[in-house]
Amino acid sequence: MRDSTLITASVEPAEKEGRHLAALGALVDERGLLADREECSHYATGARYGAGRALAVLRPTDAEQVAAILKYCARHKLPLVLQGANTGLVAASTPDASGRLLVLSLERLRKNIVVDAVNRSVAVDAGVTLQELNDALEPHGLFFPIDLGANPSIGGMVAANTGGARLIKYGDVRHNLLGLQAVLMDPPGELLDLRHALRKNNTGPDLKQLFVGSSGAYGVVTQAVLQVHRVPRQTATALVVPRDQAAVLPLLQALEQDFPEFLAAFEGISGAALDAVVRHIPAIGNPFAPEAVPEYCVLIELSSAAAPESLGLSLEQALSASLERLFGDVVENAVIGRGQDLWRIRHAISEAVRQEGKVIAFDISMPRSVLAPFRAEALDLVRSSYSWLKVMDFGHWADGGVHFNMVWPADAGQEYDAAMVSRVRDAIYDLVVHKYHGSFSAEHGVGPYNQPYYHRYTGTASQQLAGELQRLMDPLGLLGVTWFGEKPA
Amino acid sequence: MRDSTLITASVEPAEKEGRHLAALGALVDERGLLADREECSHYATGARYGAGRALAVLRPTDAEQVAAILKYCARHKLPLVLQGANTGLVAASTPDASGRLLVLSLERLRKNIVVDAVNRSVAVDAGVTLQELNDALEPHGLFFPIDLGANPSIGGMVAANTGGARLIKYGDVRHNLLGLQAVLMDPPGELLDLRHALRKNNTGPDLKQLFVGSSGAYGVVTQAVLQVHRVPRQTATALVVPRDQAAVLPLLQALEQDFPEFLAAFEGISGAALDAVVRHIPAIGNPFAPEAVPEYCVLIELSSAAAPESLGLSLEQALSASLERLFGDVVENAVIGRGQDLWRIRHAISEAVRQEGKVIAFDISMPRSVLAPFRAEALDLVRSSYSWLKVMDFGHWADGGVHFNMVWPADAGQEYDAAMVSRVRDAIYDLVVHKYHGSFSAEHGVGPYNQPYYHRYTGTASQQLAGELQRLMDPLGLLGVTWFGEKPA
């Protein structure tokens, strides 16, 4: 149980709650506090999974209002959960079922998008979404290259350290974060101003790193300064069928050898996943027709921000030539071009797989050198012990990230069994972490959904240090719903 | 004064010291403890500046010995300073003059260089040098791309977060650090094992970041797992004379537009610096002869790890064409090719400038968009108030790093005056930090030399948090010689 002054002997809870909400409402403008249960439920419901209940939703418009809210909450020990665009998948930005957590939504921190085109950087408020940021960058020929199947807020992207499908070329949020502003829980409401737009700055520990990928547990990010990149002027896309699983990594290596600076995506797609897309998404046909859907294929993208004429090079021709050279060796078949169509297939997988039954999703990663043996062993494991589950995996081979998703089919012959799912999840995670030195959460973060796995797979020394950091940053344990050490009493 | 048990009423200091050294010697092998004053002085002397005195030098061979040493030192409150290859420039790895600090040299942690070519990663012990690492990577066609004028150890590179001359293409150490192992001061000797070789891993706060760029104040890095890159198969180099200072950034932008993926270096060189090289380094002539040394020039490098034949593109031809197009606009003159010769000029600047007199070195950075106005204002400042100083600046314009070095000439007509140098340094730093939102230490770190500037230019909230982190990581204040908050009593 959280320590809270909401419930005391001397004051009726409802009355005290009302007083808190009135006081908090006075810190923001008239649209800054939502207490209506219906209005709140939107903020209490996860993007894809789960729902909780919020005491109220606070919607400040600037860092100073955030600071005032944190001060008040610290004084009265009111717990908060931070929320950006609420697109996360691990319940890190929604309240639990207690109805006692306030949601601190940053969605209205959206005054500033200040572009410095010469420095290739932008200072942007936490509530601005990725799409809005890219719209503002577009006239400068720039973009923020984290490619995701969602439209998160910039603050949420920092808190989750999102990576996406083009990490191999551009890096993740951490790689492109030059500075930030955060509001601390200790001292309550203190502004930490690290809004540098510097690529080189070694003047002490890099404090901004504390807030990257920490699910909002260490403080509230209110502004980020990002390095941005030039928009590609040409791309080349291909859907390639490797000879077999053993050929996938040699194919990746050959492409890194031929196009080390241009390779932007190398996305494995299992035949089962592609087949689901073809069957369930009416607008998308089998790109290999009249041939059958292959057992496995890889979506490849090269890109360059140089204009084709200034570079004197057509990436599509170069990619074709390279694949031709590999044909009969590691390459068995390929569809080249039609980039938008091919990416539509990739982005339709999640939806298509959901139509097959209940999805058991994975967001794992490992050194890419072991992806093929892992996949073989994991497929064996499922086939031998959970034969009614359909594996429909896909993943970012170039950066080692794998969505080894499976489906409990509607027609499985046995009812969906959460305990059984838990066992298969444990078995796969054990394989990933213990045998292949991988991660149980490549991109999605910890949050309440991954909390048990965090404790299971994180070393004692790491948990102790991460927990001490959390106590340092948030001594009362009021911030967020993710606990890296022991949950405060 | 440090808290220490070396001096007590009941035991003679020398006797107690001797007992400690005997006990510490028993934790390492016979070459693991140096107590001879002459032998120690090598470890107590900075690469370029300053010298202190060490109580003794400890040279463990693995993380377990490091752990045993930290345990002993914590128990007996013996202060330590960490040292890699001792190539730093801010005195962060050498003892002070007290003769009471132990040097913990990591130079013998050099058993492991484990290359995973498919994953493009390497696990490497902290004492291995950059050159040794690159020698081990070379057969795989790989290298660690941090380019420096020194040969530091990998542990030191992590502790300093080195950047170098090719940051714009490859990033700094932080960008390429996948994992590490560290030994903690609290609990004393605890091993923190974060040796992941993962590009995507968001399973809680990224604890390894604590050790990057923190000058060894938060723990002892004993192993690093690094992302490595393919060795360039072709480069194109040019020394370009921009029309004037206002043309430098447009030139950079034009090259980023033409070669966004290939631009590896964009190094500004002042005429004064080039002139010093030509006059003092006999092997190097004026590359623009018979024309005079220009007022300013820029060393440009493009590189690609793709073989010229597979890419169907000659970078040198492409660079020539691009510069030709810019000729008469932002480009006034250019020498193309002879990459080694041109880089020799760049690397000879430090030595040449030293021959002009006493160097007043700067390692500053700012958003690159303000480099030209900063330079103009800083030159004015020196000319108007310190007219006898010669500015001989050079810098990494592409990443905003500037060595705005100046020389107090031997024939200045007035004696070198440390107080005056301090004033000019303050004036330049004030300009950089307050007016141009830059950094007083781009690459060299804090350390005792920059400690006063750290306190002067770092926000109160940052200093407080960094100090609390230091107390968390090293409660007794025994580790290192850099203090991010208040120095422990």
Instruction: Kindly list the residues from chain B whose CB atom is less than 8 angstroms away from the CB atom of residue A256.
Output: 120, 230
Distance separating the N- and C-terminal Cα atoms of chain B: 7
* Closest CA relative to residue A333, chosen from A368, A369, A287, A376: A287
- The answer to whether residue A453 is domain-embedded is no
The per-residue pLDDT for B403 is 96
Instruction: Kindly list the residues from chain B whose CB atom is less than 8 angstroms away from the CB atom of residue A147.
Output: none
Distance from the A45 Cα atom to the nearest Cα atom in chain B, whole angstroms: 23
Sign of CA dihedral A443, A448, A449, A455: positive
- The answer to whether residue A478 is domain-embedded is no
The per-residue pLDDT for B3 is 46
Q: Is the Cβ pair B160, A194 closer than 8 Å?
A: no
Q: Is the Cβ pair A204, B261 closer than 8 Å?
A: no
Best A175, A183, A202 residue to mutate vs chain B (most B CBs within 10 Å): A202
Partners of B82 in the β-ladder: B104
Q: Is the Cβ pair A205, B469 closer than 8 Å?
A: yes
- The answer to whether residue B204 is domain-embedded is yes
The model's confidence at residue A2, banded by pLDDT at 50, 70 and 90, is: very low
List C-alpha distances in Å: B398 to A305, B193, B297, B331.
17, 35, 14, 17
Average of per-residue pLDDT across A122-127:
98
Q: Is the Cβ pair B118, A253 closer than 8 Å?
A: yes
The per-residue pLDDT for B125 is 98
Q: What is the pLDDT of residues A452-461, one digit of tens each?
A: 999 999 999 9
Best A190, A191, A201, A266 residue to mutate vs chain B (most B CBs within 10 Å): A201
- Measured between CB atoms, which of B202, B259, B457 is closest to A441? B202
Distance from the A55 Cα atom to the nearest Cα atom in chain B, whole angstroms: 27
Q: Is the Cβ pair B310, A261 closer than 8 Å?
A: no
- The answer to whether residue A470 is domain-embedded is no
Q: Is the Cβ pair B175, A172 closer than 8 Å?
A: no
Distance CA A374, CA A381 (A): 10
Q: Is the pLDDT of residue A3 over 60?
A: no
- The answer to whether residue A367 is domain-embedded is yes
Write the ipTM. Answer: 0.95
User: Any idea what the CATH number is for the domain that residue A439 is in?
Assistant: 3.30.70.2740
The per-residue pLDDT for A120 is 98
3-state secondary structure A323-354: HHHHECCCEEEEEECCHHHHHHHHHHHHHHHH
Distance CA B167, CA A312 (A): 26
Residue B181 and residue B282 in one domain: no
Q: Is the pLDDT of residue A369 over 60?
A: yes
Q: Is the Cβ pair B203, A318 closer than 8 Å?
A: no
Maximum distance among all alpha carbons in chain A? 80
The per-residue pLDDT for A376 is 97
Residue A333 and residue A366 in one domain: no
Distance CA A25, CA A65 (A): 11
- The answer to whether residue A6 is domain-embedded is no
Distance CA B470, CA B479 (A): 9
Q: In what order do the strands lie in the sheet with B357-360?
A: B357-360, B406-409, B390-391
Average of per-residue pLDDT across A58-70:
98
Distance CA B40, CA A38 (A): 72
Q: Is the Cβ pair B466, A318 closer than 8 Å?
A: no
Average of per-residue pLDDT across A443-466:
96
Residue B417 and residue B375 in one domain: yes
Q: Give SS3 for B328.
A: coil
- Measured between CB atoms, which of A191, A312, A445 is closest to B318? A312
Best B115, B122, B200 residue to mutate vs chain A (most A CBs within 10 Å): B200
The per-residue pLDDT for A4 is 44
Distance from the A488 Cα atom to the nearest Cα atom in chain B, whole angstroms: 17
Q: What is the pLDDT of residues A260-297, one digit of tens each?
A: 999 999 999 999 999 999 999 999 999 999 999 999 99
Do B448 and B377 meet the contact criterion of CB atoms below 8 Å apart?
Answer: no
The model's confidence at residue A7, banded by pLDDT at 50, 70 and 90, is: very low
Distance CA A442, CA B199 (A): 8
- In B248-400, the DSSP E strands lie at 263-270, 296-304, 331-336, 357-360, 364-365, 390-391, 394-396
Residue B166 and residue B241 in one domain: no
Q: Is the Cβ pair B167, A461 closer than 8 Å?
A: no
Instruction: Kindly list the residues from chain B whose CB atom is less than 8 angstroms away from the CB atom of residue A454.
Output: 203-204
Residue B342 and residue B379 in one domain: no
Distance from the B287 Cα atom to the nearest Cα atom in chain A, whole angstroms: 28
* Helix then strand then coil, % of chain B, to nearest 5: 40, 20, 40
Residue B124 and residue B206 in one domain: yes
Task: For the beta carbon of residue A4, count every other beta carbon within 10 angstroms.
Answer: 17
Q: Is the Cβ pair A258, B214 closer than 8 Å?
A: no
Q: Is the Cβ pair B200, A484 closer than 8 Å?
A: no
- Measured between CB atoms, which of A196, A214, A365 is closest to B205? A214
Q: What is the pLDDT of residues A134-189, one digit of tens each?
A: 999 999 999 999 988 899 999 999 999 999 899 999 999 999 999 999 999 999 99
The per-residue pLDDT for A1 is 38
Beta-sheet pairing, A220-227 with A177-185: antiparallel
The per-residue pLDDT for A307 is 82
The model's confidence at residue A489, banded by pLDDT at 50, 70 and 90, is: low
Chain centroid to CA A238: 25
- The answer to whether residue B143 is domain-embedded is yes
Q: Which of B315, B332, B350 is the last residue of a domain?
A: B350
Maximum distance among all alpha carbons in chain B? 80
- The answer to whether residue A339 is domain-embedded is yes
The H-assigned helical ranges of A116-209 are 130-137, 154-160, 167-170, 173-176
- Measured between CB atoms, which of A199, A203, A454 is closest to B440? A203
Distance from the A205 Cα atom to the nearest Cα atom in chain B, whole angstroms: 5
Instruction: Kindly list the residues from chain A whose CB atom is less than 8 angstroms away from the CB atom of residue B262.
Output: 261
Residue A261 and residue A345 in one domain: yes
Instruction: Kindly list the residues from chain B whose CB atom is less than 8 angstroms away from the CB atom of residue A152.
Output: none
In this structure, of A308-312, A335-339, B65-69, B379-383, the range with the lowest mean pLDDT score is: A308-312
Residue A130 and residue A213 in one domain: yes
The model's confidence at residue A238, banded by pLDDT at 50, 70 and 90, is: very high
- B98: which 2 tokens? 């007290």
User: Any idea what the CATH number is for the domain that residue B91 is in?
Assistant: 3.30.43.10
Q: Is the Cβ pair B198, A366 closer than 8 Å?
A: yes
Contacts of B432 (CB under 8 A, 6+ apart): B364, B366, B374, B438, B439, B440
Do B181 and B125 meet the contact criterion of CB atoms below 8 Å apart?
Answer: no
Do B480 and B215 meet the contact criterion of CB atoms below 8 Å apart?
Answer: yes
Instruction: Kindly list the residues from chain A whose CB atom is less than 8 angstroms away from the CB atom of residue B469.
Output: 205, 469, 472
Distance from the A17 Cα atom to the nearest Cα atom in chain B, whole angstroms: 32
* Closest CA relative to residue A339, chosen from A443, A234, A229, A225: A234
The total number of structural domains that make up chain A:
4
Distance from the A443 Cα atom to the nearest Cα atom in chain B, whole angstroms: 6
Instruction: Kindly list the residues from chain B whose CB atom is less than 8 angstroms away from the CB atom of residue A229.
Output: 260
Residue B124 burial class via C-beta count within 10 angstroms: exposed 0-12, middle 13-18, buried 19 and up = buried
B483: nearest CA in chain A? Answer: A204
Note down pLDDT in tens along chain B; length 489 residues.
344 444 444 567 789 999 999 999 999 999 999 999 999 999 999 988 889 999 999 999 999 999 999 999 999 999 999 999 999 989 999 999 999 999 999 999 999 999 999 999 999 999 999 999 999 999 999 999 998 889 999 999 999 999 989 999 999 999 999 999 999 999 999 999 999 999 999 999 999 999 999 999 999 999 999 999 999 999 999 999 999 999 999 999 999 999 999 999 999 999 999 999 999 999 999 999 999 999 999 999 999 999 888 788 899 999 999 999 999 999 999 999 889 999 999 999 999 999 999 999 999 999 999 999 999 999 999 999 999 999 999 999 999 999 999 999 988 889 999 999 999 999 999 999 999 999 999 999 999 999 999 999 999 999 999 999 999 999 999 998 999 998 776
Q: Is the pLDDT of residue A6 over 90?
A: no
Residue B246 and residue B216 in one domain: no
List C-alpha distances in Å: A210 to A87, A170, A217.
21, 21, 9
Q: What is the pLDDT of residues A397-421, one digit of tens each?
A: 999 999 999 999 988 889 999 999 9
Q: Which of A52, A85, A105 is the last residue of a domain?
A: A105
Residue B133 domain boundaries: 113-230
The per-residue pLDDT for A11 is 61
Q: Is the Cβ pair B260, A174 closer than 8 Å?
A: no
Q: Is the Cβ pair B461, A191 closer than 8 Å?
A: yes
B159: nearest CA in chain A? Answer: A205
Distance from the A46 Cα atom to the nearest Cα atom in chain B, whole angstroms: 19
Q: Is the pLDDT of residue A36 over 50?
A: yes
Beta-sheet pairing, B101-105 with B80-83: parallel
Distance from the B486 Cα atom to the nearest Cα atom in chain A, whole angstroms: 14
Residue A199 and residue A285 in one domain: no
User: Any idea what the CATH number is for the domain that residue A335 is in?
Assistant: 3.30.70.2190
Residue B345 and residue B296 in one domain: yes
Partners of A51 in the β-ladder: A45
Q: Which of B316, B350, B384 is the last residue of a domain?
A: B350
Chain centroid to CA A284: 26
The per-residue pLDDT for A211 is 97
Length of chain B: 489
User: Any idea what the CATH number is for the domain that residue A190 is in?
Assistant: 3.30.465.10
Distance CA A424, CA A446 (A): 19
Instruction: Kindly list the residues from chain A whose CB atom is less than 8 angstroms away from the CB atom of residue B204.
Output: 213-214, 446, 454, 458, 462, 466, 484
User: Which uninterrupted H or E stretch holds B71?
Assistant: helix B63-76
- Measured between CB atoms, which of B121, B167, B310 is closest to A367? B121
The per-residue pLDDT for B489 is 66
Distance from the B156 Cα atom to the nearest Cα atom in chain A, whole angstroms: 14
Residue A378 and residue A441 in one domain: yes
